[in-house]
Amino acid sequence: MSKIGYLITAVVIAIIAGAAAHLLTTPPAATPTPPATTPKAAQTPTAATTQTTQTATTSQKVVLYMATTTSVKDTGLLDVLIPDFEKWARSRGYDIEVRYTAVGTGQALLMAVRGDVDVVIVHAPSLEKQYLENGTLKCRDVIAYNFFIIVGPKDDPAGARGLTAVEAFKKITEAKAPFVSRGDKSGTHIMELSLWKKAIGREPDPAKDTWYISAGAGMGQTLLLANEKRAYTLSDTGTWLRYRGKLPQLDVIVAAAPDLINIYSFEIVKPSPAAKLMAQYMLTRGLEVIGNLTIAGTPLFTPINKADPKAMEWIKPAIFGPSCVS
């Protein structure tokens, strides 16, 4: 081999050796790796979060819908009973708001049939029994009573003063003296119609019996209309006592009697914790509130736990159905 050949060979070998040395001394490029992910620790409820959850649960507001007879409203009972119940419920960890509609007992029970309300307070035992039997009312407790009375013009043109209710209605019919009826299918109206049937064998017809005025109104408004017309009417004693100062033309003609007892009951339509709680209240703290409602020292209602033995004998036939607190 010539010197030139040796020289070319040496150069090639040197180049190859240099390249090999470079490959051996240069580290390979690092392969990118995804960032490590650290799993989150499961959150352990702290005392603070537990307390917040419990507060949200117990303080959630519940609305309880009630239908009640107008006499319970007109006497002012609802004005004290409902705020007291809501306060009583809060003290037991319940935030309950009661929204009520005051109508006649018949209308209140129709609201129950439609499912518009959760509970009712009414005063027509014979009608209530029908709604218990058809399942509209789930339970029932008598909570209080007062009496019906007949009021009328102070000069008593029909000569009905001091008679029994049935005799008084006969006299009013004979005299064709003005009489204002609730005319609203309330408990009072139902009692009135039963008295007319006993007295004259039928219900008066406003279209034919021109002396008979159907107001289609609550007890308070009916009393005011009777005062305006100088007419007779049937009233519960509670509303009469509440409105007496506004009725200068009227006086009691037929006073309270056993056959005129007026019994109020609390009933559940839609069972729920709130409805059950109100039932408990009505038969405990509620009875005290009812008994403390007075006008010039005279109670507007007698709570069932304060009924005297004679009154209980009159009330017993109206105690029926399962209790709401059993």
109 in Cβ contact with 135 (< 8 Å): no
For 96, the domain range is 59-145+262-318
Q: How many secondary structure helices (H) and strands (E) does the chain include? A: 13, 12
Q: Are residues 240 and 254 in the same domain?
A: yes
Chain centroid offset of residue 107 CA: 14
Q: Domain for residue 38, yes or no?
A: no
Q: Are residues 116 and 155 in the same domain?
A: no
Give the tokens for residue 127.
């009608």
Q: Are residues 182 and 78 in the same domain?
A: no
Q: Are residues 128 and 163 in the same domain?
A: no
The CATH number of the domain where 203 resides is what?
A: 3.40.190.10
Q: Are residues 132 and 270 in the same domain?
A: yes
End-of-domain residue from the set 232, 259, 286: 259
Q: Are residues 151 and 141 in the same domain?
A: no
Q: Are residues 253 and 156 in the same domain?
A: yes
Q: Domain for residue 227, yes or no?
A: yes
Q: Domain for residue 33, yes or no?
A: no
Q: Are residues 139 and 283 in the same domain?
A: yes
163 in Cβ contact with 262 (< 8 Å): no
- pLDDT per residue as tens, the chain (326 positions): 444 344 334 433 344 444 444 433 344 433 333 333 333 333 333 333 333 223 333 568 999 999 999 999 999 999 999 999 999 999 999 999 999 999 999 999 999 999 999 999 999 999 999 999 999 999 999 999 999 999 999 999 999 999 999 999 999 999 999 999 999 999 999 999 999 999 999 999 999 999 999 999 999 999 999 999 999 999 999 999 999 999 999 999 999 999 999 999 999 999 999 999 999 999 999 999 999 999 999 999 999 999 999 999 999 999 999 999 97
Q: Are residues 129 and 166 in the same domain?
A: no
Q: Are residues 141 and 267 in the same domain?
A: yes
Rounded to whole angstroms, the Cα distance separating 290 from 310 reads 20
Q: Are residues 135 and 231 in the same domain?
A: no
Q: Domain for residue 249, yes or no?
A: yes
Q: Domain for residue 193, yes or no?
A: yes
Q: Domain count for the chain, please give it.
A: 2
pTM above 0.75, yes or no: yes
